[in-house]
Chain A
Amino acid sequence: MRTGIVVFPGTWSDRDCAHALLEVLGQPARYVDYRETRLDDLDLVILPGGFSYGDYLRCGAIARFTPVVQAVTAFANRGGLVLGICNGFQILQEARLLPGALLKNASCEFRCEWVNLRVEQNDTAFTLDCRPGQVLRIPISHGEGNFFADRATLDSLEREGRIVFRYCTPDGRITAGANPNGSLANVAGISNARGNVLGMMPHPERACEPLLGGEDGLMMFRSAIRALSHPLPNPPHEGEGVTAGVA
């Protein structure tokens, strides 16, 4: 799996993602500068966490207009795998590759801690190796991860089975107490209709080594590797991103 890790001004989990892929998984990976426009050497593009452009105005609002995001949009529409982590998730939403928005945490505080995620869909490129209902332990680190979408959007996400992760208790119950940021329906991660684009607030790249507290994050990267050997089915219908893009 050839991975490109996008570096925007202000990105910081680029190095953590590179560490997970190169050192832990032994997979080839390269950094992709935000001014780049060619991604055809890549199987997977990661938009990592951080504070692109300082998260000034709105998280991801300015990064969304960089050349690389146009390229990522085209790459996604060609069926390439795209993983947006934390700030990357926010950027995918600003770019309309994924629906909804991420508001300030309900606590209005930044939160860095381990959380439990229930795998709601294991037919995305990033969850193939998970059992449905499986609970993953992965850290969050954000101040604005409070998922919001209007009723209609949320309903269609539920209907189309595009809610991939929900915050849950260690034994997999979806409760208010397990929700670290006030997200609607405890949503922690969603995918596009085709399942090749995933956005999530938690940081799988921080959960790839027992030494650092856990390795559940590896499942997602291993799933992607497997997905590439069994290409995903074509979109059932026009999913987001196919027409949406950069103004």
Chain B
Amino acid sequence: MFINDCGHFLPLQALVILYINFSIMNNIRKKDLLWMYRVMKTSRYFEERMEKAYLEGKQPVFNIGAGPVPGEMHLSNGQEPAAAGMIVHLTKNDTVTATHRPHHEAIAKGVDLKKMTAEIFGKKTGLSKGKGGHMHLFDPNVKFSCGGIVGAGIPHAAGAALANKKRNTNWVAVAFIGDGATNTGAFHESLNLAALWKLPLIVVVEDNSWGISVAKKDSTSVPFNCIRAKSYDINGYYVKKNNPIEMYRDSKEAIDRARNGEGPSIIEIQTDRYLGHFQGDPEFYRNKDEVAALRAKDPIEKLKKKLIKESYITVQELSTIDSLIIKEVDKAYEFAKHSEYPKPEEALGDVFC
């Protein structure tokens, strides 16, 4: 929703768009709502399992390099609406770049779940044969990539958008970033480029209030990053309260604009990081109660209730969906666990093609 917080930066068509938005809300397709529920739930369950898998071999003494899933692990529990509400509008031809916290987007974008899990387990059957790991998931089949350097995915998405434009397609590119990434030079340079060249780029800022231990207010000189759209003469949106349906609406508008050659947008969504920055984060810097409060307004639960209450689906049907999700994710974990490790010397391949 842009009216309250970023509306004053929007051109006059704001009111017109507001009207359209309401009609979209009324017309939001059942199929889309269920899709969003499904990907959010899949991501959530995937990560709940990952939380446990990550701890294997790291107890009683936590050692980051031990267990079947070594290295850093950034989970996105609580942030699912960003991915779901945006990616529901995308096709295989649209590009997504993500960050160090990529699972929810990867799952929404349709990255092969088995191969993704295997990758995180460092297996030969993984997306990158074990070379990438959790922060470096690449699935060109669905045009998904991510990486461990904050801000660095934005120019990649701009470049994909440039390619889309050069080829006269109506494909878009979406860069998902954290709120902390809006203070990188890459953010500014990419958005200026994209605005200048009217590229079909959308930057989704997941505002979870934190960049590791540094609160947004201690790192970002404006309360809302949608304000920064003004610096590039593009549209900015702010989605409040981690609401997947608002995210759906604003995303639709931004994507329609992009597909129509009207250039880039920034969408910031107020979202929640339930867990530590990475697994093992002692979180001395935040109040323990904070998380409990966040979890109490969980967007997946809310959507579930809404779906049932508004009779989109029955409790029965929903639990069938849930069990299908569990089955699919479980299968991916089984696949990952039972896959083989690469041979050590395979490390030498793939530097060049």
A binds B: no
Chain B residues within CB distance 8 Å of chain A = none
Interface positions of A (Cβ within 8 A of B):
none
